[in-house]
Amino acid sequence: MKARFVGQGASRYVVGDVTPFDQKNEMFCRPFWDEAQLDLGKKFYMTEVPPKNKPGYELKGQALVNASWHLENIFAQGVAGGRMGMYAWEWEQIYEYPLVPPGLKIETDNPAELTRGIKKVASFFGASLVGVCKLDRRWVYSAAYPLRDQKSTPNEVPDTCQYAIVVAIEMDYKAIGCSPTNPSSGATGLGYSKMAFTAGLLAHYIRGLGYQAVACGNDTACSIPLAIDAGLGELARSGLLITPAFGPRVRLAKVLTDLPLVADRPIEFGVWDFCLKCEKCALKCPSQSIRYGEPTNKPNNISNREGLLRWPINAETCLAFWATNGTDCSNCIRSCPFNKPPGWLHDAVRWGVRTLPRLNPFFVWMDDVCGYGKQRNPDRFWSS
């Protein structure tokens, strides 16, 4: 689907001073230091979850989830602060073939060609979408909080890293449809492992060209504004990025670099106006963590930044539901009308959303009538 180019990326949501964001305020970190979240931390991080004799919660599903997360958890830890394994900032030369002489640097007198090459390699390594933007330092965390150390550390992204390459990894449509049960958690975990694989290899490729590369998952900088700046999509009521091809059914990683590239242009394809009329994610959120009605610049708690007009998510109640559910949740992805595989009918509706916003209430109604967004029986993940 074609989108319109617009002049502003994530800046279009800025309505005041954007407060610097310390990663310790991110919801996965707060259970380690925030008194009010310590009990939630014990429940979420330290309590064993016995399998249940219930579709979507059996041992085979739990094993699937843990296997899907394995590469991220053991060799990257982007959710826990990154800066190791696939997300290491420095690279130790252990074994390389061919053994290229050190100190070589690729010619960079044609940034457009270089950018095409970087995108080709990102896709080759597994990116479903890739975009490039100038690195807006407002979206870089003011401090890092690696869960390994459980203390704030300076987040010293080199000044020379002027660009971000943002990659989006598509998650499995049918598995996400089973949310909030184990098949959808498996799709999420696999998305995180693929993020680390793709961004880590891409960073290593750039280092091989003689340039700096900082690969990151959720760590180091907010992924969504960078993805918006890089022309991958728009911000939605669910707090997620909506892409034209996959809707919100993607995970995001990025590589910060000093390689001289050509930035993509931000896009718009009717998401904001559609979200004003559609509240499906809010209705289907089991913890009622998604805001109804108009957007606001008022944060729910310290996990939201100030200075942005959007629909801020209540990450406290969201994580509390995950802890009670025994596995994470993607209902806000599953229920979104933009979450559909490509196809002529879905593409025609997306065209309508972009060009005929007056029909948005009708499109939302049709989505409901057609039964989209309902939970898929988790048993069908195994049988189909």
Q: How far is the CB of 286 from ligand SF4 (least distance, A)?
A: 5
Rg over alpha carbons for the chain, rounded to the nearest Å, is 20
Residue 151 three-state SS:
coil
The interface mask with ligand SF4, positions 211-240, x = CB under 6 A, is: -------------------------xxx--
Q: Which residues contact 15 (CB under 8 A, 6 or more apart)?
A: 297, 307, 308, 309
Identity of the residue, 255 or 282, whose beta carbon is nearer to ligand SF4 in the bound complex: 282
Identity of the residue, 171 or 285, whose beta carbon is nearer to ligand SF4 in the bound complex: 285
Burial class, 167, CB count within 10 angstroms (exposed 0-12 / middle 13-18 / buried 19+): buried
The runs of H, that is alpha helices, within the chain are 38-46, 59-75, 111-124, 173-176, 182-208, 223-229, 271-277, 280-284, 315-325, 331-334, 344-355, 360-369, 379-383
Angle at 141 between CA 249 and CA 195, to 5 degrees: 35
Decide if residue 79 touches ligand SF4 (CB under 6 A): no
Q: How far is the CB of 246 from ligand SF4 (least distance, A)?
A: 12
Q: How far is the CB of 203 from ligand SF4 (least distance, A)?
A: 29
How many angstroms separate the CA atoms of 146 and 188, rounded? 21
Identity of the residue, 69 or 338, whose beta carbon is nearer to ligand SF4 in the bound complex: 338
Among positions 79, 175, 232, 275, the unique one binding ligand SF4 when judged by CB under 6 A: 275
Identity of the residue, 257 or 330, whose beta carbon is nearer to ligand SF4 in the bound complex: 330
Identity of the residue, 238 or 257, whose beta carbon is nearer to ligand SF4 in the bound complex: 238
How many angstroms separate the CA atoms of 201 and 224, rounded? 21
Smallest Cα–Cα separation from 247: which of 256, 257, 238?
Answer: 238
- The residue count for binding ligand SF4 (CB under 6 A) is 24
Alpha-carbon distance values, 383 to 58, 174, 377, 379, 380 (Å)? 15, 12, 10, 6, 5
Q: How far is the CB of 86 from ligand SF4 (least distance, A)?
A: 25
Span from 115-123, 191-199, 218-226, 276-284 in contact with ligand SF4 (CB under 6 A): 276-284
Interface of this chain with ligand SF4, residues 277 to 336, rule: CB under 6 A: 278-281, 285-287, 289-290, 313, 318, 321, 329, 331-332, 335-336
Residues in the chain: 384
The gap from C-alpha 149 to its chain's centroid, in whole angstroms, comes to 24
Q: How far is the CB of 309 from ligand SF4 (least distance, A)?
A: 15
How many angstroms separate the CA atoms of 131 and 110, rounded? 18
For residue 131, the cross-strand partners are: 166
Identity of the residue, 110 or 355, whose beta carbon is nearer to ligand SF4 in the bound complex: 355
The interface mask with ligand SF4, positions 94-113, x = CB under 6 A, is: --------------------
Identity of the residue, 83 or 280, whose beta carbon is nearer to ligand SF4 in the bound complex: 280
Identity of the residue, 134 or 346, whose beta carbon is nearer to ligand SF4 in the bound complex: 346
Q: How far is the CB of 18 from ligand SF4 (least distance, A)?
A: 22
Residue ranges in contact with ligand SF4 by CB under 6 A: 236-238, 274-275, 278-281, 285-287, 289-290, 313, 318, 321, 329, 331-332, 335-338
